Structure 1
């Protein structure tokens, strides 16, 4: 649908008593401030939507006389519109409703009454609104398509929602299938409503696994503390010795009071002494093994810690390198933009003074009534006036050239500074991450050196542990060898004796035996408690295996989140390319990369890389017209475009628009000036 204004009629509207304006395809309305340029725009929007051009419903429509409201006059606005080539006249009139209160002659204003007409036929307000809605589709759309600055005044999220309508429908699954590295995400993309839901899912899982990961060392420490600090080997040796001594007591009781008993006592003492030496020698070997076992466990724990720490730092380096690569690519692009901007040169041609247009017209020296040549002094005056106007025109052209060139240089310098600022930001990011990677690599090298030292120590401990015998070599001990020889001699003597008997020492032997049995019971209890240490060690080993599995789960969640961020960046780049393909002058930045490599949503309009907020008035208008052109194509609607502050535009940079343009410009004219362009 294409809508144009053919003409607009106003009576007593704000500061305009009576005015008729005829519009062309491009109409310029100029004059000093406060002469009524914006009032024309207000009148048109009041007619259609009962609001001014800023969207305010409550504004002063009625004229004022020295600040006092003018009553008892009708306010009328009518317009002849061209709707797809067909003319239609819309009219709106507002009257005051004066009512006399009962019992008085004083009339009181009870508000205003509006009446409406379409092609001269009276219409109800509802019917009039229905007709206007059919023309403009919606008031919001009309504002976007008729005011170049309206779209950029919206919240960035609203701008983004509108721009997304320009993108062809392509599902996340279809997009992910275009690159094999996103294959792990496809199953999630098929099930999840959005990438935000996927991020929430894996972030929640990562948080849960990290919580479990933090709990494992505490549980291992608790298990270690629950173990009993006892030397099992020593207790076993003590048990063997007690069993032997109890048996010897029994034998002594049988042989008490006889020579054989004495010999057996000697033999038992020798056996006891030998057993004590055996226990001492085996205890030393057991202690040595225990110490090395503890050192070996410490080595294994350190190696696991080194492996996890190095892996995390290497991943951090990889992530930083990806961010550096992306930042370097953006920096190169900024360099190209900087060179392109720097190469721009000001075109003086449109501002040069045209001498050919300033030739004195000799026909003006002849009287238009009688045909006779004017007096010489009159002719000289005409020529002097002509030269004065010519001189003034030259000065005006020179001034416009100087002002325009100054504006061009100022804007160019601003653009270059903006690009340099962005470039330095990327450079600083690259330098910061490069230094950070160098520090990380130094830390990794140090950790690997420590890891190698720990590994060497572990290998040496394993070797030394394997060299410790299971049982001591008693024959190498000289004292033990003497006891052994004496023990053999006593055994030989015992064999020669056959006497036996009972002695009074039986009672003492019974007491000794009872005491030894009590000690044996205590040793058995300690051994039983120590057996629980084996179960605890098994539990600790299970926890360490679980710790490795959880570490892998954490890495898996982090990998999926990293891949998801990569996919979102890939998707947004595709979306940005698709959206920006619809515009000729502007581009939209839909996300920005943060220092930590993450992404932050945004919607920022730029022209040649310069943000809309830093553009001058002229460039903002040109950007707004480019946006309107694309949105008009999207909605299939063309409506009149009112360009306020149009004096900041140059004729050469006004884009061609498939819509009616109404340029509102400040000039030195004291009265409104309407002209077709």
Structure 2
């Protein structure tokens, strides 16, 4: 986009009662201090934005005439299309585009569609860019510089670090990767410290249990089994003796019980045999006939025979019990209590030694596990540290590449985008230097040269050409003129004088 100023008409604006100016390729404005040279540039920024040429508030009314209506009309040509913008202000502002009244929002939108305010003022006044906050300056320049590609940055890094980051950036962004490993490094570092303390504690415990190192657990276990077998053997002998004694006692009880029954059966049989037979009816007392007497005798004989048979049967059973009792040996219950206690004591002592040896084995296992965990944590901690160092190296090289890209835009200017902190990190800054001197230390002439170079860079990168106003131009003898129209203001004795040159300029002097 090519923007040129054709004409400006000023009425009751600051120290100008009435002024009409036709711009040329070069427009030189001469006059003493206070003649209104800078006010012409303020009139341009005021009609466009309602501000002075440095973006500050502006009171347009002439001195000592606050009732006058200020008016500025600027005719400009944008890519061959002529437009006149007018702003009037007395108590309230009025806006016109090609003499057509417009609302403030319509007017401001029209101007905003033509160009960005900060970009325009930065190219119109070489001082404006440097009057902005450093963050605004930084943002304005960096919008024209592509962020370095990862491949560009990797090419600047040591191969090992570059390969490490390439692999990890496949699954995470750089910022996520940094957050992830900052957290993991912090966590693993703390866990590694605790793991080291645990390993040391276990190793110290192992030293304290050094007496158990020579214990043969297998041999102790065999000895325990031998003693347990002997103790179980004693217990089995006691149990056998008790079982034998219980069996004999049980059979003897049966024998005694059956012997008593046999004795009573004998008495019963004798009682039946001694019974006197009744030959008379017990009811009526009459003598029984022969058949009845025979029945009585037969009944008596049968009962006697049954008693004898029952006695014989019990006698046979008694004999069997006696034989069964005789078959069970009489075993004396051995006194094994003292030996069993002795064996138990020996077993408990051996088990204590065995348990100590097993604890030692478990302790050694715990030590091995603790050592492995310590190494694992150290490995992960170191991996995170290496990745964080690679990220820091990447960011440093990324900053370096970015600075190179920005510096490549300029000829005599250098730009500092970052400041190195004591902890190795960087913070964003923006400082312009010329010949190694910061902008704040430059002379008026150097600041103008610096500003003109910034104008050319912004114009080239944005593709927008606007007129440039150089105030205090008398302070600089030689400089490269900007691509667009050049408007200079120089202090010279006398009233305001304007010279217009319609020529292609290369170098102004």
Give the TM bin, normalised by the shorter chain: 0.5 to 0.7
Equivalent pair of 2:153/2:397 in contact (CA under 8 Å): no
Structure exhibiting the larger radius of gyration computed from Cα positions:
2
Which residue of the partner structure matches residue 232 of structure 1? 212
Which residue of the partner structure matches residue 61 of structure 2? 62
Residues 230 and 190 (structure 1), Cα distance of their counterparts in 2 relative to 1, 3 Å cut: closer
Structure 2's unaligned 5+ residue stretches are: 232-333, 502-509
Residues 187 and 217 (structure 1), Cα distance of their counterparts in 2 relative to 1, 3 Å cut: closer
Which residue of the partner structure matches residue 188 of structure 1? 168
Where does 1:114-513 land on structure 2 (aligned, <5 Å)?
114-135=93-114, 137-168=115-146, 171-173=149-151, 176=154, 180-181=159-160, 182-193=162-173, 195-224=174-203, 229=209, 231-232=211-212
Residues 70 and 543 (structure 1), Cα distance of their counterparts in 2 relative to 1, 3 Å cut: same
Equivalent pair of 2:467/2:487 in contact (CA under 8 Å): yes
Per-residue deviation at 1:558? 2.0
How many angstroms apart in 2 are the aligned matches of 1:627 and 1:605?
10
Equivalent pair of 2:144/2:462 in contact (CA under 8 Å): no
How many angstroms apart in 2 are the aligned matches of 1:661 and 1:133?
23
Residues 579 and 191 (structure 1), Cα distance of their counterparts in 2 relative to 1, 3 Å cut: farther
Q: Is structure 2 residue 49 aligned with structure 1 residue 49?
A: yes
Alpha-carbon displacement from aligned partner over 1:78-134 (angstroms, at most 9, x marks no partner): 223233345433322224xxxxxxxxxxxxxxxx23333344444444443343233
Where does 1:68-87 land on structure 2 (aligned, <5 Å)?
70-71=66-67, 73-87=68-82
Equivalent pair of 1:47/1:92 in contact (CA under 8 Å): yes
How many angstroms apart in 1 are the aligned matches of 2:36 and 2:66?
18
Higher helix proportion: 1
Q: Is structure 2 residue 493 aligned with structure 1 residue 673?
A: no
Which residue of the partner structure matches residue 29 of structure 2? 29
Q: 1:661 aligns with which of 480, 486, 489?
A: 486
Which residue of the partner structure matches residue 283 of structure 2? none
SS in 2 for 1:64: coil
Which residue of the partner structure matches residue 475 of structure 2? 648
Per-residue deviation at 1:236? 7.3
Per-residue deviation at 1:598? 4.6
Using structure 1 for the length normalisation, give the TM-score: 0.51
Per-residue deviation at 1:546? 2.0
Is 181-190 or 530-539 further displaced after alignment?
Answer: 181-190
Using structure 2 for the length normalisation, give the TM-score: 0.67
Equivalent pair of 2:153/2:394 in contact (CA under 8 Å): no
Q: Is structure 2 residue 355 aligned with structure 1 residue 528?
A: yes
Aligned positions, number: 394
Per-residue deviation at 1:170? 5.6
Equivalent pair of 2:54/2:128 in contact (CA under 8 Å): no
Equivalent pair of 1:177/1:183 in contact (CA under 8 Å): no
Which residue of the partner structure matches residue 86 of structure 2? 91
How many angstroms apart in 2 are the aligned matches of 1:152 and 1:114?
30
Alpha-carbon displacement from aligned partner over 1:46-71 (angstroms, at most 9, x marks no partner): 111122223234x3222332xxx632
Alpha-carbon displacement from aligned partner over 1:482-508 (angstroms, at most 9, x marks no partner): xxxxxxxxxxxxxxxxxxxxxxxx99x
Which residue of the partner structure matches residue 258 of structure 2? none
Which residue of the partner structure matches residue 456 of structure 2? 629
Per-residue deviation at 1:11? 1.5
How many angstroms apart in 1 are the aligned matches of 2:8 and 2:357?
104
Per-residue deviation at 1:213? 0.9
Alpha-carbon displacement from aligned partner over 1:420-457 (angstroms, at most 9, x marks no partner): xxxxxxxxxxxxxxxxxxxxxxxxxxxxxxxxxxxxxx
How many angstroms apart in 1 are the aligned matches of 2:139 and 2:69?
43
Residues 230 and 48 (structure 1), Cα distance of their counterparts in 2 relative to 1, 3 Å cut: closer
Residues 225 and 553 (structure 1), Cα distance of their counterparts in 2 relative to 1, 3 Å cut: same
Structure 1's unaligned 5+ residue stretches are: 96-111, 251-505
